[in-house]
Structure 1
Amino acid sequence: MAGHVDNAVVLDAPMDLVWQMTNDVASWPGLFSEYAEATILEERDGTTRFRLALHPDDRGTVWSWVSARTPDLATRTVRAHRVETGVFKYMWIFWEYTQEPDGVRMRWVQDFEMKPGAPIDDAAMRDRLDGNTKVQMELIKRKVEAVARVHST
């Protein structure tokens, strides 16, 4: 069995600002609440390889992994995947940005499968990712819209 999460949010901000802020991986610790560190490891042929580290969990464990991300400005899409999969067999993420009448619709589609013996199954991870994605998208929405308001005055 595999997991699938599909969420979107509309940001009241210009497309170029949304694209720039959400694709600046090095700045993600200030954009997402869950990331303590984002370290760029390599940029080659339009793909960025980077390490993300979460804030310590309630046991003091810091979870981290390497991902690769390839944005396509022409189609306003991004394809990403975990290189170090950890508890996942695979984790693929598709980002899509579309212009809507009331702003930019930013959509994240996450497809994954947990490894046998992982501490949670696909359904539990789907629920966890779905809930956290909504929280992160709302946070990003507020932060990007705040910058857009400053730039518009």
Structure 2
Amino acid sequence: MAQNDAMHDDDLAKSGEALIEFIKSSKAESALRGARENLQEFFDHHIKTKKTTTELLNDKICFVYLQKELERLRDTEQEIQTLQQEVDEDTTEVIPSAIYVAQLYFKVTKIKLEVDTEPHILRGVHYGADVAAPINIDTSTRSPCEISDDLWSLVNTEW
């Protein structure tokens, strides 16, 4: 039996060595080490997320400020919408009346003024009986009365 036990011990030792060689060749140790590193990275990320969440929850002053800022922006948006609605209403009322006045002015004076000019330039055309005369007046150098007199001097007063 002693010989049988020695044989079993020898077989057991050989099996153990074979198992160790198999584990080394299968790279189980490196896979285990990689899994351990991944677990550590996950744990570190968890700790960082927990810290950030805690800071955000504890920083109520910032939250209150952001809430007030959001409310202010909503109020501003409402004001802008109200102003846009007023502009739309004014546009639908004022522009047709302005067009009517411009058409009436042209029928009486035969003067057609350009609207896309520099702010201090009055430009247009007077369609007289014989010839069309260009109008180009620098309003920054003349008084409103002088400009009015010049324009009315172009209009035929004979009926």
Larger Rg computed on CA atoms: 2
Kindly indicate whether structure 1 or structure 2 has the higher relative contact order, using CA contacts under 8 Å at least 6 residues apart. 1
**Structure with more of its chain in strand, by fraction:** 1
**Structure with more of its chain in helix, by fraction:** 2
**TM-score normalised by the chain length of structure 1:** 0.24
